[in-house]
Each structure stands twice: as C-alpha cells, then as structure tokens.
Amino acid sequence: MKKTAPVAKNDYIEVQVEDLTHDGAGVAKVDGYPLFIPNALPGEKAKIKVLKANKGYGFARLMEVVEPSPYRTAILPEDVSKYGGCQLQHMSYEGQLHFKEKQVREVLKRIGNLSDVKVHPIIGMDEPFHYRNKAQVPVGEKDGKLIAGFFKPRSHEIVDADESLIQHPAINEAVRAVKKIVSDLGIPAYDEEKHKGVIRHIMARYGKQTGELMIVIVTRTKELPFKEKIVQELISQLPHVKSIVQNVNSKKTNVILGEQTNLLWGNEVIYDYIGNVKFAISPLSFYQVNPDQTKVLYEKALEYAGLTGEESVIDAYCGIGTISLFLAQKAKKVFGVEIVKEAIEDARRNAELNSIDNAEFAVGEAETVIPDWYAKGNRADVLVVDPPRKGCDEALLNTIIEMKPKKVVYVSCNPATLARDLKILEAGGYQTVEVQPVDMFPMTTHVECCALIKLKV
C-alpha cells in the first residue's frame, strides 16, 4: 500500500517545533513526517499552514506562535527581517550561538563520526549588529520610483529598504545618499527583463579601522549621466569617502560587477587592518566582511599552527593573503596558492604593503599546485586550508595524506564539508584534536570553524 503524507496542502494545524535546519527553518513532525517552517523556533507551539506536502517531507508557513520559545525576540519590520538576509533575526543572540554550536557538534558526530572531538564554546560578538563592511544593493523601479534594497528570497523582486541592521552605519548612510542623489537627478534604474536603464547596483565598502569609505556605482551603460554632479554631492555629504568608482556591467547577467572600472574621484583603493596587517581594498578585491571576527578566527589559526619561526607553511586557498600574512609573521616561509589571478596580485601587493618578504604566492588550483610542489621537494611542516563552502578537493586531501605535514589547520565556513573532510583525513592517519566555532555572521545561519588536526605518531 502506497504511503501518503499525514498532511495535505492548505491544511491548518498546530504543531510543536523540535529543531532547526542548517538554514534556520523550524522543524516539526506530524506522525514522524517532518515539516519545515521558516521563522519558527525550537520549543514553540505554533499554528501553521501546509504549503507543500512531498512524499517524505513538507513545507509550511508560520501563521501564529501559540507558545513562544524563550529565544524568540521581537520581529522587526517585515521588509528588513524577512528580506535582509537575516534568517535568525527573530532569535535572541544567545539562542543563535546555542544553535550554531549545536550544529557544529551534531554534524561532526553525524557526518564525521567524531563524537569525542573537543568542541570549544562558540566565540560570539559583544555587539552582533552593524558588523558588515560591504554592501551590494540591487536597484530597480516600482510605480515610477527608484528603489534599492534586498531581493525577496528565491526571487528577483526588490524590496525597498533604507537600513540594514547588519551593515555598518557608514555603509547604510552611503547607500542612502547614492540612492537619493541618482533618484533626484532622474537617472533611470536598470530593468532586468528589458535590459534597459542605467543604475544596476550600489556598492559600498568601509575600512572599519581606518574610517575610509569607497562607493561603487554599477551601471549598464558606459556613460553615467551627471557624474560630476554625483561626485560633488557625495563628497559634500560623506566626509569619509576616499574613492568613488563607476563599474560598467553591460551584460544580461546575474553577476554584479563587470570587467570595466572607471575611477571617478579619489583613490583607487581604500585601506583597512586585520590585527596589525594592513590591506589594500579595490572594488573587485575579496576582503572579509567582518574583520573583527576574522581577527579572532585567524588568531586561533595562528595559535593552532604553533609556529616557532622555523617552519615552512603552505596556505591553500589563500585568497588575497589574509591568513598567509598572519602566518608569515611567525613562520620561516609561507607559500600561498589561489586559483583567482587577481587575488594573488592583491596578496603580493599586501605582502609588499606590510614589508613581508617571506611569503610567496602562486596562481592555480590548490589540488594541482601543491602536489607539484611536493614532487619538487617542497615539504610543509604546517598546512593551512581555508576552502570555499564545498570544502577541500579530494585530490588535495590525498596530497595532504601523502605529504604528511605534522599539523593541518582547517578554517571552514561550512561545518558539513568540514566534517566530511576530517573523516577522510582521520582515515589517512590524522587525528582531529579540537574545533573552535566562531560566529562571523550574526543574524544569519552561517558559522565558521577552526580545526586543529595532527599527524598520528
């Protein structure tokens, strides 16, 4: 007999929420059948409407919280809390940290079979708002009026918003200023469907330690109308601005930035510090959006590396050299590898900026370059990996196992792929000693980790 779901689409039912998914949706079960409910929290009794009932699971909308979770906080205006990328804004910060630490412990156990690994209490922020130093705000039109804000989830509909609680106030101020200036001047916003109009995105970057501000106006057209007027207005309204840039993206694409960048006024780069390391930030540079917590994470990586000044270190997925330059202060030599050519150019520039001469950078895939280094006799005492969300490439993990560095320091932005990769390294002769979760992105579901892995003797 074919098994059917115990609920049907458009059913209104009352449920007890038991858990959260990795992306922050509440989980309730009806006769063992899981329902995923955005904005619901564990411990809550809630009235829901079933939106979809698949064979093995369903989705529902939260209609009413009957008994709230102790972690529930006031829900902010809908246009900010639902569409501003803040999936956990309805949850107290204490609750968010509890959820993220629990997630790390559970995936290490479930995916990595690492139930005995020491997981330290998560390191959160004293002030979990206004931490982001970069915004990329889509621009459009509604009812003949220029709008800018956030995309609705799973859509390209822009919700107009003048404020984000996770953006630095200087970023919010800059976006509001550009929005008003181009609107007052009557410059048309980009129409995605017709591929017409001018202003596509407003981007702002801020150096928290230096107070320097960069504004990037992304246009479909090479010509930016009233550009001299825009520059004058921005300089007069924003005293911290050091760089005003136009980026041209004429393609019909979801990619935000195009290949052509024109400096309209000021400097080509702004500067910021993570710890005592100085970084030059261009419009296209990758740079961590929460430098305060990045410092916490990298200091932990440096601590786990345990460098004495005699070690050779390889930094896979080195980006613009952020971790490499931290490590170079304590290592004999650091070798960084990164597939993005522009990032390596930034890494070399940042090494020169800090007078660091014991860091060497190469362009290429880590899983190709590092085995080549190994074949040529480049042996690392410590290997640091900071991969994208998909985790380490299998070829790189196999090279680590063959190369046998005494220590591997794994910086992760995805606990699930971290657990998967640790399981492979454990099978290859390594032991996971400890894991430190760090909350880099409060109000969101993301959690970073730093893991110390040692070669078994």
- Are 79 and 161 in contact by the 8 Å Cβ rule? The answer is yes
Please tell me whether residue 348 adopts helix, strand or coil conformation: helix
Buried/exposed 250-273: b ≥16 CB within 10 Å, e otherwise: eeeeeeebbeebeebbbeebbebe
pLDDT above 70 (res 83) = no
What does the alpha-carbon distance between residue 317 and residue 324 come to, in Å, rounded to a whole number? Answer: 10
Average pLDDT, the chain: 93
Residue 444 sits at φ, ψ, to 5 deg, of -120, 175
pTM over 0.75: yes
For residue range 423-457, list pLDDT tens digits in order: 999 999 999 999 999 999 999 999 999 999 999 98
Q: What is the DSSP letter of 76?
A: P
Does 150 score more than 90 pLDDT?
no
Q: Is the pLDDT of residue 81 over 90?
A: no
Mean pLDDT confidence for 233-237: 97
**Residue 258 clears pLDDT 50, i.e. is over it:** yes
How far apart CA 147 and CA 162 sit, in angstroms, is 9
Which residue type is seen at 84?
A: G
The CATH number, out of the four listed (3.20.20.30, 3.20.20.70, 1.10.3720.10, 2.40.50.140), of the domain defined by the range 12-71: 2.40.50.140
Could you tell me which CATH number the domain at 134-274 has? 2.40.50.1070
Main-chain dihedrals φ then ψ at residue 312, nearest 5 degrees: -100, 130
Looking at residue 163, its pLDDT comes to: 85
Catalytic hit among 86, 392, 413, 449: 413
Q: In terms of Cα–Cα distance, which of 449, 451, 438, 453 is closest to 413?
A: 449
Quick check: 12 pLDDT over 60? yes
pLDDT greater than 50 at residue 77: no
Distance between CA atoms of 102 and 97, rounded to whole angstroms?
Answer: 8
- Contact between 132 and 166 under an 8 Å Cβ cutoff? The reply is yes
Is 413 in the active site? yes
Name the CATH code of domain 98-126+290-455 (choices 1.10.1750.10, 3.40.50.150, 3.30.1540.10, 2.40.50.100): 3.40.50.150
* Residue 78 banded pLDDT, cuts 50, 70, 90: very low
Which percentage of the chain shows pLDDT scores above 90?
Answer: 83
- DSSP secondary structure letter of residue 72: B
Q: How confident is the model at residue 75 (pLDDT cuts 50, 70, 90)?
A: low
Write out the residue limits of the CATH 2.40.50.1070 domain(s) in the chain.
Answer: 134-274
- Rounded Cα gap, residues 103 and 101, in angstroms: 5
Residue range(s) in the chain whose domain bears CATH number 2.40.50.140: 12-71
Express each pLDDT in 371-427 by its tens digit.
Answer: 888 888 888 999 999 999 999 999 899 999 999 999 999 999 999 999 999 999 999
